[in-house]
C-alpha cells in the first residue's frame, strides 16, 4: 500500500488532461450559443462514437495488417441479436460475457 | 449516500433515485472491467493504493489500461500524459453533445456533470435524450455518482483479487464493454423512424469502412475519434 511522489504527480497530470476535455464543453455552451449546423452535427455523435467503439473491438491490427478479430466477431453475433430483440442493456451484457467465456473455454 | 425519494410519478422523473436506477444495467460493465483493470494493474506493478488513486483521479477505463501498459513499459511521463489526453479526447465530443441540455444549472453543477462523464454514462444519457428530449440534473447526479463509486470500488477490489489470483483475467469479462456499447447503440437506433434509421445504418456501414482504413495507420483510440468526426460530418451533409 505505497506510492511515490513522482507517481502521484504523474497521476495528477493524467487527471488534469482527462478532466479538461470533459469540463470545457460544459463551460463553453453556457457562454456561446452553438449554431444550428453544429447542433445538427452533434446529433450524429452518439451513433458515430458508439458504432466506432464497437467496430474498434471487432478489428484486429498487427504488423500493418487489419483483419477481423474473429473471437470478438463470434461473440458479437449472439450479443447483437439479444440487444435487438430484448433492447435490454443488462441481458445483452450477460449474454455477451457468457458467450465470450464459452468461446474461450472451447477454443 | 443521499438518495432522495421523490414520489412524483406523473412527471418525467428527474430524481436522484431514478438516475441510480437507470445506472444499474451498466454496473455489470463497470464491475467486470473495473475488476479486470485492478488485476492487470497489479501485474503491472501498481500498488492497491495506486490503483485506488488512479481510478479516483482519472476515472476512465481505457486510459487506465493504457496507463498501466505504458508505465510497465517504462515510458517517459510526458508520453503517458499525452497519450492519456488523446485517448480521452473523445469525451470532449460527448460533453459537447450533452452540455446544451444542462445549461440552466449552475456553473458548479455543470463542472460536476462534466467531471463524471464517461463513455457509459454518456451512452445512458443520450439514450434518455433520444426518448425524452431532456435531461435533469438530479438524474444526472444519480447516474454519475453511482457509476463513479462502483468504478472506484471495482478497481480497488480487482487489485485485491489480483493479489490472490494472478490469472483472473480472460474470463470473458473484458467483452462486457463491447456488449454494453452494442446495446447502447441499438437503444439509440430504436424509435428514430424508418428514413432516419436507414440513414443511420448507411452511416454505420461507412463507419466500418473508415475504421478499417484508419486502423492501418492509427491506434484504435485515434481511429475512433477521427472516424467519428468524419462520419458525423457525412451525416450532416447527406441529411435530407
Per-residue model confidence (pLDDT) at position B33: 83
Q: Which site among A33, A61, A89 would you substitute to test the B interface, given the most B Cβ atoms closer than 10 Å to its Cβ?
A: A89
Q: Are residues B52 and B162 in the same domain?
A: yes
Residue B68, domain member (yes or no): yes
Closest Cβ–Cβ partner in B58, B130, B233 for A15: B58
Domain boundaries, chain A: 1-32, 33-106
Q: Are residues B37 and B145 in the same domain?
A: yes
Per-residue model confidence (pLDDT) at position B171: 67
Tell me which of B184, B200, B219 is where a domain ends: B184
Residue B83, domain member (yes or no): yes
Q: Does the predicted interface ipTM exceed a cut of 0.95? A: no
Residue B6, domain member (yes or no): no
Question: For the segment B46-102, what is each residue's pLDDT rounded down to a tens digit?
Answer: 999 999 999 999 999 878 988 887 888 788 898 889 888 888 888 999 999 999 999
Given a cut of 90, is residue B155 above it in pLDDT? yes
Higher pLDDT, B165 or A1: B165
Given a cut of 70, is residue B19 above it in pLDDT? yes
A54 touches chain B (CB under 8 A): yes
Q: Are residues B84 and B202 in the same domain?
A: no
Query: Please, which pLDDT band fits residue B199 given cuts at 50, 70 and 90?
Result: very high
Residue B8, domain member (yes or no): no
Q: Flag if B107 and A79 touch (Cβ within 8 Å).
A: no
**Cell 502521484 appears where?**
A8
Question: For the segment B104-145, what is each residue's pLDDT rounded down to a tens digit?
Answer: 999 999 999 999 999 999 999 999 998 888 999 999 999 999
Q: Are residues B74 and B177 in the same domain?
A: yes
Most confident among B38-47, B178-187, B202-211 (mean pLDDT): B202-211
Q: Flag if B207 and A46 touch (Cβ within 8 Å).
A: no
Closest CA to B213 of B196, B195, B201, B231: B231
Query: Please, which pLDDT band fits residue B209 given cuts at 50, 70 and 90?
Result: very high
Q: Are residues B79 and B165 in the same domain?
A: yes
Q: Contacts of residue A64 in chain B, CB cutoff 8 Å?
A: 216
Per-residue model confidence (pLDDT) at position B51: 96
Q: Are residues B211 and B164 in the same domain?
A: no
Q: What is the mean pLDDT of residues B183-209?
A: 93
Per-residue model confidence (pLDDT) at position A86: 93
Higher pLDDT, A19 or B240: A19
Tell me which of B154, B184, B214 is where a domain ends: B184
Q: Which site among A13, A30, A38, A93 would you substitute to test the B interface, given the most B Cβ atoms closer than 10 Å to its Cβ?
A: A93
Q: Are residues B147 and B227 in the same domain?
A: no
**Nearest-CA distance A77 → chain B (Å):** 10
Residue B3, domain member (yes or no): no
Given a cut of 70, is residue B167 above it in pLDDT? no
Question: Residue ranges of chain A with pLDDT lower than 70?
Answer: 1
Identify the weakest region by mean pLDDT among A2-6, B7-11, B71-75, B214-218.
B7-11
* Average per-residue pLDDT for chain B: 87
Q: Which site among A58, A67, A84, A97 would you substitute to test the B interface, given the most B Cβ atoms closer than 10 Å to its Cβ?
A: A97
Query: Which residues 126-185 in chain B show a CB within 8 A of chain A?
Result: 126, 130, 170-185
Q: Are residues B180 and B227 in the same domain?
A: no
Q: Contacts of residue B81 in chain A, CB cutoff 8 Å?
A: 10, 13-14, 17
Q: What is the mean pLDDT of residues B225-240?
A: 93
Q: Contacts of residue A61 in chain B, CB cutoff 8 Å?
A: 215-216, 220
Distances in Å between the Cα of B185 and the Cα atoms of A41, B38, B89, B111, B131 are 17, 27, 20, 27, 14
Q: Contacts of residue B199 in chain A, CB cutoff 8 Å?
A: none
Query: Please, which pLDDT band fits residue B2 given cuts at 50, 70 and 90?
Result: very low
**Nearest-CA distance B4 → chain A (Å):** 25
Residue B230 domain boundaries: 192-240
A70 touches chain B (CB under 8 A): no
Q: Flag if B216 and A7 touch (Cβ within 8 Å).
A: no
Q: Are residues B155 and B219 in the same domain?
A: no
Are B81 and A18 spatial neighbours (Cβ–Cβ below 8 Å)?
no
Q: Are residues B27 and B120 in the same domain?
A: yes
Distance between CA atoms of residues B139 and B20, nearest Å = 8
Query: Count of domains in chain B?
Result: 2
Q: Are residues B58 and B169 in the same domain?
A: yes
Amino acid at each position: 500500500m505505497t506510492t511515490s511522489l513522482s507517481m502521484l504527480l504523474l497521476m495528477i497530470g493524467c487527471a488534469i488532461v482527462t478532466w479538461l476535455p470533459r469540463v470545457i464543453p460544459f463551460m463553453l455552451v453556457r457562454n456561446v450559443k452553438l449554431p444550428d449546423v453544429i447542433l445538427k452535427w452533434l446529433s450524429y455523435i452518439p451513433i458515430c462514437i458508439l458504432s466506432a467503439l464497437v467496430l474498434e473491438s471487432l478489428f484486429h491490427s498487427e504488423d500493418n495488417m487489419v483483419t477481423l478479430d474473429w473471437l470478438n466477431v463470434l461473440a458479437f453475433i449472439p450479443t447483437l441479436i439479444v440487444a435487438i430483440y430484448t433492447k435490454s442493456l443488462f441481458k445483452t451484457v450477460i449474454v455477451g460475457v457468457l458467450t465470450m467465456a464459452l468461446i474461450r473455454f472451447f477454443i | 449516500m443521499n438518495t432522495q425519494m421523490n414520489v412524483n410519478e406523473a412527471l418525467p422523473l428527474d430524481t436522484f433515485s431514478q438516475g441510480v436506477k437507470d445506472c444499474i444495467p451498466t454496473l455489470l460493465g463497470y464491475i467486470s472491467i473495473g475488476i479486470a483493470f485492478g488485476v492487470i494493474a497489479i501485474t503491472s506493478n501498481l500498488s492497491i493504493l495506486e490503483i485506488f488513486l488512479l481510478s479516483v483521479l482519472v476515472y476512465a477505463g481505457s486510459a487506465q489500461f493504457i496507463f498501466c501498459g505504458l508505465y510497465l513499459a517504462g515510458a517517459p511521463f510526458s508520453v503517458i500524459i499525452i497519450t492519456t489526453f488523446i485517448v480521452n479526447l473523445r469525451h470532449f465530443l460527448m460533453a459537447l453533445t450533452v452540455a446544451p441540455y444542462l445549461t440552466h444549472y449552475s456553473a458548479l453543477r455543470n463542472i460536476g456533470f462534466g467531471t463524471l462523464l464517461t463513455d457509459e454514462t454518456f451512452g445512458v444519457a443520450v439514450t434518455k435524450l433520444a426518448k425524452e428530449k431532456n435531461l435533469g440534473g438530479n438524474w444526472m447526479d444519480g447516474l454519475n455518482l453511482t457509476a463513479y463509486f462502483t468504478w472506484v470500488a471495482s478497481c480497488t477490489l480487482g487489485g485485491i483479487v489480483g493479489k490472490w489470483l494472478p490469472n483472473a483475467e480472460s474470463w470473458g469479462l473484458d467483452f462486457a464493454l463491447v456488449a454494453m456499447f452494442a446495446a447502447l447503440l441499438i437503444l439509440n437506433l430504436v424509435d428514430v423512424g424508418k428514413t432516419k434509421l436507414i440513414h443511420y445504418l448507411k452511416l454505420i456501414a461507412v463507419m466500418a469502412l473508415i475504421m478499417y482504413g484508419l486502423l492501418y495507420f492509427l491506434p484504435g483510440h485515434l481511429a475512433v475519434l477521427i472516424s467519428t468526426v468524419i462520419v458525423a460530418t457525412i451525416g450532416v451533409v447527406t441529411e435530407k
